[in-house]
Structure formats: C-alpha cells, structure tokens
Structure 1
Amino acid sequence: MTTTQGIRTVLHPVADLEAAKAVYAALLGVAPQTDSPYYVGFVAAGQQIGLVPNRGPQGMASPVAYWHVSDLGVKIAEMIAAGATEKESAHDVGGGRLIATLTDPDGNVLGLIQDN
C-alpha cells in the first residue's frame, strides 16, 4: 500500500472569478501565482489554493481537497479495490502533473495529484 504526502491542494469552484480572486487574496495575504481566465492559483503556507470558474470542466459542486501521491495509478487501484469509485480518470493538467478524482462510498469527492 502506498502512502500519501498529505493534502496540499484545494480547488474551489467559483461563479465570479474576479470577485473570488479578491476575497482569496485578502484571506491568504498573497497575490495569485497563476492568474488566467480558466484558473487562478495561490500558494500560501505551503498550500496550493485554486479557483476554478463555472464549476470547471469536472463539474465541481463543492471544494475538492487533493491528496498528493507518489504513484497515481497505484493509489487509484488501491482505492477502487477498497470500495471507491472513479469520478474523473487520471489525466495530465500540464507540466507532467497528473490528477484524478474518486468518490468514497458516501459520494464525497477525493482528489489525487501526482507531480513529476
């Protein structure tokens, strides 16, 4: 069984990206590190906080915490064997970063990230 490296990324779906950007900048006390029409990302205290407009391509209904793992494929297989269901299959979101989402038996969304 592989272990996780903890939750270091949380994505928040937002309706108004500019308004949310101002609120999160005030909360975190830093300017966005990434600022584009499809994603605004902050790094504060070792955490990556992302804003995803219009529920994003994954149709986010609520914030999703992403657990960082060393081997995404192995972790997905372990979780499915334990009863999780794949929601968003593993894919590259740029720079070799792989993400996927699964749901637990109660429907809670669990994000996974593998950085290369």
Structure 2
Amino acid sequence: MSPTIRSLVIPVSDLDATKAVYTALFGSPHTDESYYVGYNVDGFEIALNPAGAGGGPVAFADVDDLDATRETLLAAGATERDAPRQVAPGARVCVLSDADGNPIGLRGK
C-alpha cells in the first residue's frame, strides 16, 4: 500500500471558538473531546488539536510501517519534530520536517 493522506490536524489555541467555526462549515463533529475534535468530511479527517505546538496544520500520511517509513525519511534528510507516540489502539503518529521546515505527519502501526 502506498502512503495516503487521510487527515489534517490543525493546532488551535481556543478550542471552543475554533470548533464553532468548523462546526458551522462541516456540521457536528464525530468526536468532541477536550483533547481532540474530529470531523469526517467525505472520508477525510479534519481534526482540531488544542495541544498542538502551532506552526500550522499537519497533513498525516497513513503508512503500513511507521518506523520503517520514518527511518527512510530521516535517512533522506528529514528531521524529527515529534517522536512516535501512541494515539489510539493500533495507531501511532509522528511528525518530521523537510529541509524547509514543513511538517510531514505519519500515521501507522
């Protein structure tokens, strides 16, 4: 399976205010928690993350092997921004940066 971008995570400083805007656009979120608000937009996940470090939205590519893909990108010159961490059963994420500092999100096992 080739990597597929299926989600966009947006760091926010005021979850309630930002949620009101995205709810007006996309309707009610499928997940509405203090740590994560998620909207399903035709199978694409738009998420609000109040714990985000800023720096703009991060698109996450779904990959079969997070560790192998991460190592391949690091060997190609990417740098680590956020180390791999478990976010749900069977799902881990990490964020790397390209040479210009743009974020590259990876989600996998």
TM-score normalised to the size of structure 2? 0.92
Deviation by residue 1:60-80 (Cα, 9 ceiling, x = unmatched): 321111111111011001101
1:10 maps to a residue whose letter is: L
Match of 1:98 among 84, 92, 107: 92
* Residues 1:84 and 2:83 are matched in the alignment: no
Query: How far has the Cα of 1:101 moved from its partner?
Result: 0.5
Residues of 2 paired with 1:81 and 1:13: CA distance?
28
Residues of 2 paired with 1:31 and 1:44: CA distance?
11
* Residues 1:12 and 2:10 are matched in the alignment: yes
Match of 1:52 among 46, 49, 54: 49
1:64 maps to a residue whose letter is: V
Quick one: percent identity of the two aligned structures?
Answer: 41
Match of 2:102 among 91, 96, 108: 108
2:10 maps to a residue whose letter is: H
SS in 1 for 2:72: helix
Match of 1:24 among 10, 19, 22: 22
Moved over 4 A (4+): none
User: Structure 1: where are the runs of 5+ without partners?
Assistant: none
User: Structure 2: where are the runs of 5+ without partners?
Assistant: none
Root-mean-square deviation (CA, aligned residues, Å) is 1.4
**2:69 aligned partner:** 75
